[in-house]
Amino acid sequence: MRVLIMGDLGGQIAAASKIAMSRGAQVSHVNTINETLNELRAGKGADLIMADVMLNIGDLITSLEAERISVPVVACGVGTDSQAAVRAIKAGAKEYVPLPPDAELIAAVLTAVTAESFDFIAQDENMLGVIRLAEQVAPSEASIMITGPSGTGKEIMARHIHAKSRRSDKNFVAVNCAAIPETLLESELFGHEKGAFTGAIARRIGKFEEANGGTLLLDEISEMDVNLQAKLLRVLQEREIDRIGSNKPVKIDVRIIATSNRKIEEEVSKGNFREDLYFRLNVMNLRMPPLSERPGDIPALAKFFVKKYAELNAVDDRPIDEEAMTMLKSHAWPGNVRELENAMHRSVLLATGNTIDLNAIMLQDGIVSTHGLQASNPAESSEHMVGRTVADVERQLIINTLDHCLGNRTHAATILGISIRTLRNKLKLYNDQGMAVPPAGEDRPTA
């Protein structure tokens, strides 16, 4: 974990740094917003920014967003200036930490904001077999393609491979190719020089250079534009990149891991993905099984998520009763581990007794499970749709699915059976028409 501390923090920098380092963080320090931006533009990277609340947190977050730098910000302050804390949170800070620092509070913030442990929770032999294969090839330099449906833990597998590799002491850098517009992805990967294009206000080091010596994850690479695929292939062949606006190649040493929730062979046959790039990336293929193929993991995962969200919401960690567990094991889980996580989060909030029972398991929007069956009547649902346009029904389905996924676009697209790009286009249309769209939830990795 890389922590960047920004500001004076009333002389409490040393104490905060010491606590963060004791929790395994690599800590660096800057004084101003410009210094912070320069550090990140230079490719030094950070997983968390701890910023002095007396600085302009709003300007910092606006600047990060303008340059598409995604780093969570935690505001810190000496004393009890509640108004400053409120302003920081409203400006976009994830949390406020009072100083002098409390060791347990700092530890909790580092854990919560930087998203979790990346350890696998696996007991099913289907999953254990994939893990064994991954650990066997991890020490090599081979490129690896990880495939499987969304929500199965492809990014966690990539991080696991990095941790078991000879590059484990170097950076692991992830790029979500589906989340970045095509016009900006080239800059994100290869970087740019000042003035290379409108908005390029300073030199920016790309993800390849940031990952130099370590591992670069190209997440959902099947969403990458074919023209950019050609440039990526050249980079992999020549082991060098060209920043946009520069004519001086930069040598790079990066181990590539790519993921996709699509069948790449089919994308190649359709002309959507270059065959030569596929062969370059697919030296080793790891297929992540859907949750329906690893039922032995469901009890352990369910208990893990209940404990996690009980702690997060400061409620009792209730056991899951036998009837509810039977239902969980029999459900198909089309959204995989991520869907199970969301269901268990809801169950923690809905449980009223000493255990988590069937009444607390909500599998669909507003529908509580009844002995493993959805409490809905298909005939009534069909009658309800009569008289409505196809576009209206489609819109309602998309919005309801997004609500069900707590705003997670990637998960919703998987359940709907459409690409993330198609989903975003639909949501933009709804926004343009003045319709309410659920806010985006985190597309973070899940075990």
More confident call, 293 vs 437: 293
Asked if the structure places residue 397 within a domain, the reply is: yes
CA geometry: angle 148, 149, 154, nearest 5 deg: 60
Which residue, 345, 368, 391, sits at the end of a domain? 368
Determine the pLDDT at residue 375: 38
Of the listed ranges 61-75, 200-214, 254-268, 432-446, the one predicted with least confidence: 432-446
One domain, residues 50 and 174: no
Determine the pLDDT at residue 147: 96
Could you tell me the CATH number of the domain that includes residue 427?
1.10.10.60
Determine the pLDDT at residue 139: 95
Structural domain of 407: 378-432
One domain, residues 178 and 79: no
Taking a C-beta distance cutoff of 8 angstroms, is the pair 228, 178 a contact?
no
What is the CA 54 to chain-centroid distance, rounded?
30
Which residue, 341, 368, 395, sits at the end of a domain? 368
One domain, residues 310 and 251: no
One domain, residues 61 and 105: yes
One domain, residues 229 and 351: no
Q: What is the pLDDT of residues 164-203, one digit of tens each?
A: 999 988 889 999 998 888 888 999 999 999 888 887 888 8
What is the CA 438 to chain-centroid distance, rounded?
18
d(CA 17, CA 15): 5
Asked if the structure places residue 49 within a domain, the reply is: yes
Of the listed ranges 80-89, 149-158, 245-254, 284-293, the one predicted with least confidence: 80-89
Asked if the structure places residue 18 within a domain, the reply is: yes
Tell whether the model's pLDDT for residue 275 goes beyond 70. yes
Could you tell me the CATH number of the domain that includes residue 322?
1.10.8.60
d(CA 176, CA 188): 10
Tell me phi and psi for residue 324, to 5 degrees.
-65, -40
Q: What is the pLDDT of residues 6-40, one digit of tens each?
A: 887 666 767 777 777 777 778 888 889 999 998 88
Q: How many domains does the chain have?
A: 4
Q: What is the pLDDT of residues 397-421, one digit of tens each?
A: 888 888 777 777 877 777 776 777 7
Q: What is the pLDDT of residues 312-346, one digit of tens each?
A: 788 889 999 999 999 999 898 988 998 898 899 88
Paired with 95 in beta bridges are: 74
- Amino acid identity of residue 424, one-letter, is R
% helix, strand, coil for the chain, step of 5:
45, 15, 40
Taking a C-beta distance cutoff of 8 angstroms, is the pair 420, 178 a contact?
yes
Determine the pLDDT at residue 80: 59
Question: Three-state DSSP class for 283?
Answer: coil
Determine the pLDDT at residue 78: 73
One domain, residues 323 and 364: yes
Determine the pLDDT at residue 183: 80
CA distances in angstroms from 227 to 183, 224, 274, 400, listed in the order given = 11, 8, 9, 35
Q: What is the pLDDT of residues 124-169, one digit of tens each?
A: 999 999 999 999 999 999 999 999 998 899 999 999 999 899 998 8
Asked if the structure places residue 240 within a domain, the reply is: yes
Could you tell me the CATH number of the domain that includes residue 102?
3.40.50.2300
Taking a C-beta distance cutoff of 8 angstroms, is the pair 86, 80 a contact?
no
One domain, residues 341 and 383: no
Determine the pLDDT at residue 376: 39
d(CA 320, CA 344): 10
Determine the pLDDT at residue 189: 94
Query: Predicted confidence band at 244 (pLDDT cuts at 50, 70, 90)?
Result: very high
In this structure, what token pair is assigned to residue 83? 């108004």
Give the other-Cβ count within 10 Å of 80's Cβ.
8
d(CA 63, CA 254): 28
One domain, residues 245 and 136: yes
Tell whether the model's pLDDT for residue 209 goes beyond 90. yes
Determine the pLDDT at residue 111: 62
Asked if the structure places residue 119 within a domain, the reply is: no
One domain, residues 227 and 317: no
> b/e map of 10-33 (b: 16 or more CB within 10 Å)?
eebbeebbebbeeeebebebbeeb
Determine the pLDDT at residue 48: 86
Determine the pLDDT at residue 321: 94
Determine the pLDDT at residue 113: 55
Q: What's the chain's length in residues?
A: 447
Paired with 5 in beta bridges are: 29, 50
Determine the pLDDT at residue 179: 83
d(CA 126, CA 123): 9
d(CA 65, CA 59): 10
Which residue, 319, 348, 368, sits at the end of a domain? 368
In this structure, what token pair is assigned to residue 291? 């949750």
Could you tell me the CATH number of the domain that includes residue 161?
3.40.50.300
- Amino acid identity of residue 400, one-letter, is N
One domain, residues 70 and 178: no
Determine the pLDDT at residue 409: 82
Asked if the structure places residue 416 within a domain, the reply is: yes
Asked if the structure places residue 48 within a domain, the reply is: yes
Tell whether the model's pLDDT for residue 444 goes beyond 50. no
One domain, residues 25 and 94: yes
Of the listed ranges 74-83, 113-122, 175-184, 220-229, the one predicted with least confidence: 113-122
Q: What is the pLDDT of residues 345-400, one digit of tens each?
A: 889 988 888 999 988 888 754 444 544 334 334 444 444 556 667 777 788 888 88
Percentage of residues in the chain with pLDDT exceeding 90? 39
Asked if the structure places residue 447 within a domain, the reply is: no
**Nearest in space to 385 (alpha carbons), one of 375, 394, 398:** 394
Determine the pLDDT at residue 115: 47
One domain, residues 87 and 236: no
d(CA 110, CA 88): 18
Determine the pLDDT at residue 385: 58
